[in-house]
Amino acid sequence: MDPTQIGAAGAIVTGGASGLGAATVAHLAERGVRVTALDLPAGIEKARQGGTLPPGVEYVGVDVTDETAVQQAVQEAAERAPLRVAVNCAGICPSARIVGRKGTHDGALFAATLQVNLVGTFHVLAHAATAMADNEPVDQDGQRGVIINTASVAAFEGQVGQAAYAASKGGVHSLTIAAARDLSSLGIRVNSIAPGVVWTPMMEAINEDFRTELEARVPFPPRFARPDEYARLVGLLVDNDYLNGETIRLDGGLRMPPR
For residues 209 and 194, give the distance between their C-alpha atoms in angstroms, rounded to a whole number.
25
Phi, psi of 185 (to 5 degrees): -70, -15
CB 20 within 8 A of CB 150: yes
The amino acid at 227: P
Of the candidates 207, 214, 198, which has an alpha carbon nearest to the alpha carbon of residue 259?
Answer: 214
62 Cβ contact list (under 8 Å, min separation 6): 14, 38, 39, 40, 69, 70, 73
**Sign of torsion, CA 254 164 20 206?**
negative
- Note if 165 is an active site residue: yes
Return the exposure string of 220-253: e unless at least 16 CB atoms fall within 10 Å of the residue's CB, then b.
eeeebbebebbbebbbebbeeeebbeebbbbbbe
For residue 176, CA distances in Å to 146, 217, 246 come to 12, 28, 7
User: Pairing relation of β-strands 99-100 and 103-104?
Assistant: antiparallel
**Active-site option among 59, 165, 230, 242:** 165
Count other C-beta atoms under 10 Å from residue 132's C-beta. 25
The amino acid at 60: V
Question: What residues act catalytically?
Answer: 165
